[in-house]
Amino acid sequence: MAQLMDSGDVSGDVSIAPSVQGSDRFPAPDAAYVHIPFCRRRCFYCDFPISVVGDTRRGENSGAIAQYVTQLCTEIRRTPNLGTPLQTIFFGGGTPSLLAVEQLETVLTVLKQQFGLAANAEISMEMDPGTFDLAHVQGYHACGVNRISLGVQAFQAELLQACGRTHQPDDIPIAVEQVRRAGIDNLSLDLISGLPHQTLEQWTFSLEQAIALTPQHLSVYDLIVEPGTAFARRYKPGDKPLPSDTLTAEMYRLAQQTLSTAGFQHYEISNYAKPGYGCRHNLRYWENRAYYGFGMGAASYMQGQRFSRPRTRREYFEWLEAGMPMDDPVATEGDRLLDRLILGLRLANGLSLTTLEQEFGHDTVAQILTTLKPYEERGWVACQLNQHLRLSDPDGFLFSNTILAALFEQFSDD
């Protein structure tokens, strides 16, 4: 699967990038990711940059959260406006629904003041069942939040407990009802397959329960045992009680068939949406478009440069105090090509070969097609009229790691 000490005053007029407008080569960002790192506890599969605040701490009564919001707003104010109003904002975490309404409003106000906000902007917020009530979600909606991503993960108490979640199955329909009552009609649910002890019958039930809640969007992730997580200390990939590769592949195919039958479009490897409800913010990532990133551990992509912030609060605050230095290496042409391929091939629509040729040249596109020829022969890769390159659904998506590894080996500068 599938993100302490007080610092001194970090105010001041410091920028992390030249204050220039976007260019044809590097268009200005029109999206912002905002990382809210706080969680009541760390899930056993999680390797995201988070801070655990316990079961009873919320933004209303947590000094740590209040201090972080102040420093986060400092970073936003110091970041130059490159000239395009924000079309999307995504509050991720962590558990952003631990924020007080006033804290979310403060961050949104600073974003609007610094960058501007389009009238029809998509403003998404990740929330966990059991971490908010109706008044909170009504307050978030009043601030401008119009899309909720709800971290459901499973509909079985034993599976939720096995992966360290804090909510129970009964919390899920209550949370969905609260979102609907608040007037938010763009709802996404997250599910995880491949959990320890998970059976195909349990996965079928979770899919059916999720569909019954009538979300507009579903994200379906296969568990990856990340180094340093509680799961990594307990299990080795491929060992029981983790499901076998054969079973997880069957789960993936079942999700694709079940959700497609229910009217969801499989528009990205792990994401399904009713027509018109694909996540506009995440599409910017997969289309390799520029975006701002703010907060502990957040990544940004501006003027052709990717940059990640420190992953702990103390280091993040120290980075702010030091003037927000941006010292990641400059992306090479090979890096840019791999970004385009690895991200774009996640999408059902794939990549335009014409666009690739315009940016990277005819010889590079020919080399890409040669590298992918063995996978095209297996039916995992499709090249439509020599104009569009995409992975097949479901098999190409299932074996995407193998396909992308071949591309990485061919085009990596290392």
- pLDDT tens digits for range 104-153: 999 999 999 999 999 999 999 999 999 999 999 999 999 999 999 999 99
- The stretches in the chain having pLDDT less than 50 are 1-20
pTM, full prediction:
0.92
Report whether 220 contacts 191 (CB < 8 A): yes
pLDDT of amino acid 3? 27
Q: What is the DSSP letter of 63?
A: H
pLDDT of amino acid 6? 27
Neighbouring CB atoms inside 10 A of 366's CB total 11
Residues 396 and 403: their CA atoms lie apart, in Å, by: 8
pLDDT of amino acid 116? 98
Residues 21 and 27: their CA atoms lie apart, in Å, by: 8
Residues 282 and 288: their CA atoms lie apart, in Å, by: 10
Residues in contact with 299: Cβ distance below 8 Å, sequence separation at least 6, in sequence order: 33, 293, 306, 307, 308, 309
pLDDT of amino acid 108? 98
